[in-house]
Structure 1
């Protein structure tokens, strides 16, 4: 099954906002839901999601597959994912480049991986298995990180690109994660965007971060999803649009969630940036055809 989101702004679906959304039908391209919140068979969550899925495309975002874990993937979890995908026919399905399980233990955090040939083989095997099990192409998201493993021998961009090349999966570019990781590791986020294989990207994520200091008094960013998209992240997003053109873009706000108008205002900022990118792409195409 081939899926693609509309090139527009989207928001994460919050249960408290469903009534407002259905009454007002805001001009949004799609809504994202976390797969694990809908793995029961019925009840209010599914009634709400079914109502939203009629007028809006869905992006199904997984947080519990532990695709980078050392053990085998959870076959029951994969079956539940396939059931959700067959039930709602989402326009996108994505997971994180991370691990969150060890033996029978489950962790609340999405934990980073060392980028080595061994982990590359494992993640590629798990991605291929996932796509086969759920019956569709998936997108793999770049993580936010707070440390760099000494044993890493592959740069993150090259690691992600290699997984995509081996498995045919797409990539989900989280621009906020790029900013968080770049600041934490004293790297250039714009250079990261310039090297990223944009032709493989099926979705963009934006979010807000929290800021503190590390033991040396340096900036330390936390991927918190509890505030508006900050100006430096939006500037990085604009740079990405200048390079790649418009792409489906989600605003994530998962903690300290405000009333719906505040979320919708964030989406409208994104839609305005996408409109500018569409215009620039059209003008560039006209210029090329006239040359």
Structure 2
């Protein structure tokens, strides 16, 4: 028997800036009193029949908006979607009735096994057709749309034949899915792949070609540096580690994009080297201030 959790009553359009829910901050998150605040959890951490993890998630859902963010469906992969994994996701969604559900334009499994990473694939018409079918399969199982997140890129070895905005726009149009725009992934990929040290920031401007109406959520995060790998001009490779404060480059792009696209629910991702709650809250408040200014509230 599946028990449905009473929700906070917020709608996705009312959600402002949110935080990832980490166990060390559960008490602080429960104490937040802000109608715009929301939480995001990784689906795989809560796909259980019962116990404390599900119980605390149900309690938080009663107080705050909620996004379920999956990392294990390997939608861009070549092997069949794991039906047991999908069934557990369906059960979790039925239990907590999240405002938002998302997954990745990435793969993490093939015939050799599972890889603990989110790996990008070459953007081709064949991958687009493949993704449309798999996204529709997941959405049919859930009975609602999901959002697909743009990946991080570290090398230029993939032979893309479609631009990133073109691919994502077509995916949303053909599958009926939404888009999760991770601006850290955008800036990081521009830094890692662009061949011009002085102009790489401008390589992020493809986001302004996205269908802004399809974007249901934005992610902001920090990076780490890989000193053992470099860009073409010798700078350390940026890694999507979610282990530090958001860079100024990401904040600048976020400000520009919100001015362009309007209000979008925005998540602060900080999954590793998680700091004190006050530090997370300062980052959240910075994003909320940008959203409020766009709405003319401050």
Please give the TM-score of this superposition, normalised by the length of structure 2: 0.89
More deviation in 186-195 or 204-213?
A: 186-195
Residue 55 (structure 2) pairs with residue 55 (structure 1): no
Distance 2:68 2:203 in 1: 27
Query: How far off is 1:7 after superposition?
Result: 3.5
Distance 1:221 1:61 in 2: 23
Query: How far off is 1:245 after superposition?
Result: 1.3
Query: How far off is 1:196 after superposition?
Result: 2.1
Give the 5 Å matches for 1:119-158: 119-158=127-166
1:33-55 CA-to-partner distances (Å, cap 9, x unmatched) read: 00000111111111211111111
Residue 273 (structure 2) pairs with residue 256 (structure 1): yes
Root-mean-square deviation (Å): 1.8
Distance 1:225 1:23 in 2: 24
Runs of 5+ consecutive residues of structure 1 not aligned to the other structure: 283-291
Residue in structure 2 matched with residue 211 of structure 1 by the alignment:
225
List structure 1 runs of 4+ shifted beyond 3 angstroms. Answer: 23-28
1:118-165 CA-to-partner distances (Å, cap 9, x unmatched) read: 111111110011100111100000011112345321111111111111
Query: How far off is 1:178 after superposition?
Result: 0.5
Q: 2:95 aligns with which of 87, 97, 105?
A: 87
Distance 2:231 2:257 in 1: 32
Q: 1:247 aligns with which of 240, 253, 264?
A: 264
Residue in structure 2 matched with residue 161 of structure 1 by the alignment:
169
Residue in structure 2 matched with residue 226 of structure 1 by the alignment:
243
Query: How far off is 1:76 after superposition?
Result: 1.0
Runs of 5+ consecutive residues of structure 2 not aligned to the other structure: 1-10, 195-199
Residue 217 (structure 2) pairs with residue 198 (structure 1): no
Is the 8 Å Cα contact of residues 114 and 149 (structure 1) preserved in structure 2? Answer: no
Is the 8 Å Cα contact of residues 168 and 210 (structure 2) preserved in structure 1? Answer: no
The count of corresponding residues between Structure 1 and Structure 2 is 279
Residue in structure 2 matched with residue 182 of structure 1 by the alignment:
190
User: Helix, strand or coil for the counterpart of 2:50?
Assistant: coil
Distance 1:23 1:202 in 2: 26
Residue in structure 2 matched with residue 277 of structure 1 by the alignment:
294
Change (3 A) 1:24 1:6: closer
Residue in structure 1 matched with residue 5 of structure 2 by the alignment:
none
User: Helix, strand or coil for the counterpart of 2:74?
Assistant: coil
Is the 8 Å Cα contact of residues 164 and 206 (structure 2) preserved in structure 1? Answer: no
